[in-house]
């Protein structure tokens, strides 16, 4: 199995961030502007300045073992190996492949080939399908196949936004905090935003985000006035999906909301967008506007509930290739 996540810079330095962003921003699935026009913007205005501004944020979340997203995804892969072996009574190799950066999708395929795998389940850790994430991953996997001496049979998981096990795992993670420290007055369910024109062109991402949010709220027994969907990480001037998480947090703070919890179900593992943008910058926005207690509820990461769901999802998608004893 090839477990895919977005990726991360190799170090919290401007040079490493620049190399990562150069690959990310060159992906036509992410930015589909005119190639020459976008090349000029990217090379002259973004890459010379943005990496330096991001370096401090990356340093603040970096761990002794490396970038959180890579470390957590690695632990998740290891847990999946053990659980799959227990459930299937067979060794199922699980390798990592990052859409951008290292280890690459190609290196993941090569490691699986070395292990003797001729069939590969491709599992992108993007619960809500978008051409910018899952679609880009599928394209990268096809390109990687050109670098293999023998191309394996590949099955792909295109998303799991409304899967019962995924929603239950999210709800359990929220309840764990609420049972320990008490619930908040409001729950903000934040997803990475996307330019509106992608939705207009048929990308199902926004619809799937709304479905995940509604199912999670229902599982938690929340009435509409106790939760809010929002979209974060806007970039550029064109219209994006809304309402904006930043504007939502500011409005709730201005309303003197006593307590607020924020969860971001679209991120399978914590990363810069959650640990800094939400947990740090989001808190500042909310409290500076007059809000009270703020909590960021961590991603599912390598929690037992997340592992159990992904094992079930994997076994379902391995039917016909591998069967439980």
Residue pLDDT, tens place only, 196-217:
999 999 999 999 999 999 999 9
pTM, two decimal places: 0.96
Q: Could you tell me if 311 and 78 are in contact, meaning their C-beta atoms sit under 8 angstroms apart?
A: no
- Residue 206's domain comprises 164-297
User: What pLDDT score does 165 carry?
Assistant: 98
Domain count, the chain: 2
For residue 252, CA distances in Å to 95, 185, 224, 226, 287 come to 42, 11, 15, 12, 9
Q: Do 58 and 171 belong to one domain?
A: no
Sheet containing 186-192: give its strands across.
227-232, 186-192, 259-263, 293-297
User: What pLDDT score does 34 carry?
Assistant: 82
User: What pLDDT score does 323 carry?
Assistant: 80
| Residues lower than pLDDT 70 in the chain | none
Instruction: Residue 58: count other Cβ atoms within 10 Å of its Cβ.
Output: 24
90 phi/psi in degrees, rounded to 5: -150, 150
Q: Do 114 and 197 belong to one domain?
A: no
Q: Do 95 and 170 belong to one domain?
A: no
Q: Do 28 and 141 belong to one domain?
A: yes
What is the distance between the terminal CA atoms of the chain, rounded to a whole angstrom? 19
Q: Do 122 and 240 belong to one domain?
A: no
Q: Do 225 and 77 belong to one domain?
A: no
User: What pLDDT score does 235 carry?
Assistant: 83
User: Distance between CA atoms of 285 and 274, rounded to whole angstroms?
Assistant: 14
User: Distance between CA atoms of 20 and 8, rounded to whole angstroms?
Assistant: 7
């Amino acid at each position: 199995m090839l477990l895919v996540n977005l990726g991360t810079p190799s170090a919290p330095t401007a040079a490493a961030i620049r190399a990562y962003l150069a690959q990310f921003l060159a992906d036509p699935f992410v930015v589909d502007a005119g190639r020459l026009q976008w090349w000029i913007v990217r090379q002259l205005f973004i890459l010379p300045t943005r990496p330096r501004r991001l370096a401090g944020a990356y340093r603040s979340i970096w761990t002794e073992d490396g970038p959180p997203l890579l470390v957590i995804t690695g632990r998740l892969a290891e847990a999946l190996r053990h659980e799959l072996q227990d459930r299937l009574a067979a060794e199922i190799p699980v390798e990592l492949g990052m859409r951008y950066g290292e280890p690459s999708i190609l290196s993941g395929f090569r490691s699986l080939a070395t292990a003797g795998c001729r069939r590969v389940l491709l599992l992108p850790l993007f619960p809500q399908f978008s051409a910018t994430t899952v679609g880009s991953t599928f394209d990268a996997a096809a390109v990687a196949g050109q670098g293999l001496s023998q191309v394996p049979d590949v099955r792909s998981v295109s998303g799991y936004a409304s899967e019962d096990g995924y929603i239950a795992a999210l709800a359990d993670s929220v309840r764990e905090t609420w049972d320990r420290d008490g619930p908040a007055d409001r729950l903000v369910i934040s997803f990475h935003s996307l330019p509106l024109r992608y939705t207009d062109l048929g990308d199902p991402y926004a619809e799937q985000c709304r479905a995940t949010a509604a199912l999670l709220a229902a599982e938690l027994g929340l009435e509409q006035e106790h939760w809010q969907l929002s979209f974060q990480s806007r970039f550029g001037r064109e219209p994006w999906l809304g309402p904006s998480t930043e504007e939502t947090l500011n409005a709730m703070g201005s309303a003197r909301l006593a307590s607020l919890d924020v969860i971001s179900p679209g991120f399978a593992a914590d990363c810069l967008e959650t640990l800094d943008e939400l947990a740090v910058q989001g808190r500042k926005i909310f409290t500076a506007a007059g809000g009270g207690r703020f909590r960021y509820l961590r991603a599912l990461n390598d929690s037992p509930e997340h592992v159990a769901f992904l094992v079930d999802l994997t076994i379902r998608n391995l039917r016909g290739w591998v069967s439980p004893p």
